[in-house]
A and B are shown apart, each in its own frame.
Chain A
């Protein structure tokens, strides 16, 4: 009997239910102020437009944004014609009447194209690492937008005694990968020149791209917040009415 128990205990080690330590819990992510935080949060349209510029000029060469269509950009404050012109800067493969592959101009109904034709190609171009799609990034990580912002600004010299592997970069917020990330530092002061004249510090650029990515991940945030307010007002009134009705009906019993 003891032997069986012993064997069973040993077998448990082989059960496919092992749990590695989740190191991300050891890192503090300071809370940042975002225009979209809170129950009344709204996106800052100008910030989203700057963020789009950052995505296009900095991120898009490696990261896709596949769930965002060009037509969605109207929510950033662009007109229909501006969106059409923006979409037309991209090219998409299509077939001509003879069945040969040709290029056509992008339409508002197209989504942002992937910078790579397939995953293998993407890995081969990036030292084996796959640049993730960014459409849902702020919802797909603990701490959401704060995570993205701090990760972008978290590049530093590695601490004493730490050897960073070849092709990797030290980032004090990338706990999931033991603080070594394949992406090099991308954002520096004056990396982009903003059309609206905002001073492009590394901090500002990181905030703008984070806000843009949060819009990409949760485009219905504003209507969600405002509907929530209206529904809550309705529910408060209904609950008060129901409370007094209940009291009045139950008052009959005390007679």
Chain B
């Protein structure tokens, strides 16, 4: 492009003019870049849960029909929640487990509501890669520790939903919930 006027004509006004132009250039470019970033934010943000999605975050459920030893799956925020009416033996097994046998130490007492220890309520999503563990239906495999067993990659959970064996890094999550009366529970 020898024929064109050069892209970078040396400034005859000297170093002072050069600095001022560079300053103006850098300011404008930086200001434009910040504006572009701010313009992109609404687009990115629109992918986060919308207001109506966030509003649908509570589910009420009646435990009255549940028998000792049984478990059910209910849906909360589009995901399964396991509710198990534990037998005294299961509770005892959970409470007598030494803390150093656990991958993520947590007391069973902290994973249930006081006075309602027989009801174990868990988010039914394996903490490994998001599969649904078996163990809720009567015929299901429950794994080596009598709780739940994830068939995807072989994670075993105990009768408190704590990870005992396999690749999952954490215990099954306890969703936020409260008892509205003796048998009605609100999750979320």
Interface residues of A (CB under 8 A from B): 69, 71, 97, 107-109, 234, 237-238, 241-242, 244-245, 248-249, 252-253, 255
- What's the nearest-Cβ distance from chain B to residue A144, in Å? 24
Partner among B5, B32, B65 whose Cβ is within 8 Å of the Cβ of A97:
B65
B45 interface hit (Cβ, 8 Å): no
Known contacts A245-B25, A245-B28, A253-B5, A109 near B56 by CB under 8 Å: yes
Q: How would residues 1 to 44 of chain B score, 1 for a CB under 8 Å from any chain A CB and 0 otherwise?
A: 00001000101100000001100110110011001001000000
Contact A237 B9, beta carbon cutoff 8 Å:
no
Contact A241 B56, beta carbon cutoff 8 Å:
no
- What's the nearest-Cβ distance from chain B to residue A152, in Å? 30
- What's the nearest-Cβ distance from chain A to residue B6, in Å? 9
Partner among A69, A238, A253 whose Cβ is within 8 Å of the Cβ of B31:
A238
- What's the nearest-Cβ distance from chain B to residue A33, in Å? 31
- What's the nearest-Cβ distance from chain A to residue B5, in Å? 7
B89 interface hit (Cβ, 8 Å): no
Known contacts A97-B62, A237-B31, A238-B32, A245 near B24 by CB under 8 Å: yes
Known contacts A97-B65, A109-B52, A234-B35, A242 near B9 by CB under 8 Å: no
Tell which of B12, B25, B55, B56 has the most Cβ of chain A within 10 Å. B55
Contact A241 B9, beta carbon cutoff 8 Å:
no
Q: List 12 A-B contacts (CB under 8 A).
A: A69-B55, A71-B55, A97-B62, A107-B58, A108-B55, A234-B35, A241-B28, A241-B31, A242-B28, A242-B32, A245-B25, A248-B20
Q: Is the interface of A mostly helix, strand, loop or mixed?
A: helix
Q: Give every chain B residue within 8 A of A249 (Cβ-Cβ).
A: 21
Across the interface, name the chain A residue whose C-beta is closest to B64. A97
Contact A241 B55, beta carbon cutoff 8 Å:
no
Q: Give every chain B residue within 8 A of A242 (Cβ-Cβ).
A: 28, 32
Tell which of A109, A234, A242 has the most Cβ of chain B within 10 Å. A109
Q: Give every chain B residue within 8 A of A107 (Cβ-Cβ).
A: 58
Other contacts beyond A69-B52, A255-B9: 12, CB < 8 A:
A71-B51, A97-B62, A109-B52, A238-B28, A241-B28, A242-B28, A242-B32, A244-B24, A245-B28, A248-B21, A248-B24, A252-B9
Total interface residues on B, CB under 8 Å, equals 21
- What's the nearest-Cβ distance from chain B to residue A254, in Å? 11
Contact B24 A241, beta carbon cutoff 8 Å:
yes
What is the bound-complex CA distance between A253 and B5, given in angstroms? 8
Q: Give every chain B residue within 8 A of A71 (Cβ-Cβ).
A: 51, 55
What is the bound-complex CA distance between A237 and B31, given in angstroms? 9
Q: Give every chain A residue within 8 A of B25 (Cβ-Cβ).
A: 245
What is the bound-complex CA distance between A20 and B39, given in angstroms? 44
What is the bound-complex CA distance between A49 and B5, given in angstroms? 68
- What's the nearest-Cβ distance from chain B to residue A92, in Å? 13
- What's the nearest-Cβ distance from chain A to residue B42, in Å? 9
What is the bound-complex CA distance between A97 and B183, given in angstroms? 14
Q: Give every chain A residue within 8 A of B62 (Cβ-Cβ).
A: 97
Q: How would residues 87 to 114 of chain B score, 1 for a CB under 8 Å from any chain A CB and 0 otherwise?
A: 0000000000000000000000000000
List residues 121-150 of chain B with CB under 8 A from any CB of chain A.
Answer: none
List residues 150-178 of chain B with CB under 8 A from any CB of chain A.
Answer: none
Contact B35 A238, beta carbon cutoff 8 Å:
yes
- What's the nearest-Cβ distance from chain B to residue A78, in Å? 15
Nearest 9 Cβ contacts at the A-B interface: A109-B55, A241-B28, A252-B9, A245-B28, A248-B21, A245-B24, A71-B55, A109-B56, A238-B31
What is the bound-complex CA distance between A252 and B65, given in angstroms? 85
Q: Give every chain A residue within 8 A of B20 (Cβ-Cβ).
A: 248
Q: Give every chain B residue within 8 A of A234 (Cβ-Cβ).
A: 35, 38
- What's the nearest-Cβ distance from chain A to residue B9, in Å? 5
What is the bound-complex CA distance between A188 and B25, given in angstroms? 65
- What's the nearest-Cβ distance from chain B to residue A102, in Å? 12
Contact B27 A241, beta carbon cutoff 8 Å:
yes
Contact A255 B27, beta carbon cutoff 8 Å:
no
What is the bound-complex CA distance between A71 and B53, given in angstroms? 12
Q: Give every chain B residue within 8 A of A245 (Cβ-Cβ).
A: 21, 24-25, 28
